[in-house]
Amino acid sequence: MRGYPLKIKRVIENLQKLPGIGVKTAERLAMSLLRRSKKDSIELAESIKDMVMNVKYCSKCRNFSESDVCDICSSPSREKNIICVVEQPEDFFAIERAGEYRGIYFILHGSISPIEGIGAEELGIDYLVKRVKNEGIREVIIATDPDVSGEATAIYIARLLQDTDAVVSRIALGIPAGGHIGYADEITMIKALEGRRRIILE
Amino acid sequence: MRGYPLKIKRVIENLQKLPGIGVKTAERLAMSLLRRSKKDSIELAESIKDMVMNVKYCSKCRNFSESDVCDICSSPSREKNIICVVEQPEDFFAIERAGEYRGIYFILHGSISPIEGIGAEELGIDYLVKRVKNEGIREVIIATDPDVSGEATAIYIARLLQDTDAVVSRIALGIPAGGHIGYADEITMIKALEGRRRIILE
């Protein structure tokens, strides 16, 4: 990065540490931060600091939250005996956006990965099992990603919950809405066929 | 963005104002800022603030600079009678990275665009012409982009400098190094043919 003033270089280097941001994108972003109004760039910096300093994990579901217990866990309008287990806060937000689910959540912040040293403890699975047992949870919907580690995590959790009263379910895998059957990969196709449901004519 | 705590929402909204960052990328970046060490995220925020508050325009070449006159304009080792005119600081950095050019620069921060209301004044072209006249500039290399507005800007500047003692030149257009002749578009191909140079065997 020959030629950049030091203060610009520092921003470019810091931006490059973010996922998916290479040197070209970092340069472009730094230039844009300089080019637009000072106010907007300072507002971005301040908002990042404020978020990082004040957002913590909800003590019940491990989701990002501004308070000790998040809005969902403390909401009287959510069903407290259905837990949906997801890998990441983004997954939680995707489900919330759909607007149908009325239960509560549990966020693993990852999936089981022996190579990366991520096990049940890092993911809070022991705490999840304890909650299911102690809080009379009726159903646990496992919505981890349908990939190798997500599937392994789903099966691992299902085994641990075998002896509890909770029904353990897995979200459906299949062709996405608006997708094309012809473009589906083999595994998705197999799962879509396996998960077929009878058409009931009224 | 249903479901996000306010402080996260604020960061996502601020990130989305940057060029090329849509809602999905903004969400992913915000999550990553939360997930990694607090120190790194605060360092990013601080570096943005520091840059925005302290980087200004060089009074001679209009490039971003920490001091009133930038390192290149104040360097005794640069040839002060050759000016390379570029649209953006990124273009300047690209030329510096190549490491061959020993002259000075002039940064327009844009190109002539009547639709966007960007004319000679906004680009500092009057000041450039004054410098060429007053400082005995020998050559002006115009390295604006080879697109419609870059070409228009190049021709506009060349006309204004017609009556000065400076030679006005344009960077060569052609097939990029490592590129494929078969993939070149028509205009590049025409320019590459027009700009052909005799092979001199030693």
Instruction: Report ipTM (2 d.p.).
Output: 0.74
**Does the beta-carbon distance from B5 to A96 stay under 8 Å?**
no
| Rounded Cα distance, A84 and A175, in Å | 21
| Rounded Cα distance, A46 and A55, in Å | 14
Name the more confident of A116 and B49: B49
**Does the beta-carbon distance from A51 to B30 stay under 8 Å?**
yes
Query: What separation in angstroms does the CA of B159 have from each of B33, B129, B136, B155, B166?
Result: 50, 11, 18, 6, 12
Residue A84 pLDDT level (bands cut at 50, 70, 90): very high
**How many Cα atoms sit within 13 Å of A18 on the Cβ side?**
25
pLDDT at A121 over 70: yes
Name the more confident of A38 and B93: A38
**Could you give all domains of chain B from N- to C-terminal order, each with its CATH number?**
75-170 (3.40.1360.10), 173-202 (no CATH)
What is the maximum alpha-carbon separation in chain B? 72
Using an 8 Å Cβ cutoff, are A103 and A175 in contact?
no
pLDDT for the residue A201: 67
Residues in chain B, pLDDT under 50: none
| Rounded Cα distance, B176 and B112, in Å | 25
pLDDT for the residue A146: 86
**Does the beta-carbon distance from B52 to A33 stay under 8 Å?**
yes
Tokens 């089981």: give the residue.
A112
pLDDT at A1 over 70: no
CA-nearest residue of chain A to B39? A52
User: What are A142's strand-pairing partners?
Assistant: A85, A170
pLDDT at A173 over 90: no
Percentage above 70 pLDDT, chain A: 97
- Minimum-distance CB partner of A15 among B44, B53, B64: B44
CA-nearest residue of chain A to B47? A11
pLDDT for the residue B61: 96
pLDDT for the residue A2: 55
Using an 8 Å Cβ cutoff, are A26 and A16 in contact?
yes
pLDDT for the residue A19: 92
Using an 8 Å Cβ cutoff, are B166 and B137 in contact?
yes
pLDDT for the residue A186: 80
CA-nearest residue of chain A to B88? A31
pLDDT for the residue B153: 94
| Helix and strand counts by DSSP (H, E) for chain B | 7, 6
Contacts of A132 by beta carbon, 8 Å cutoff, 6+ apart: A83, A140, A161, A164, A166
Work out the average pLDDT over A176-196. 79
**Does the beta-carbon distance from B30 to A53 stay under 8 Å?**
no
E strands of B21-67, at which residues? 56-57, 64-65
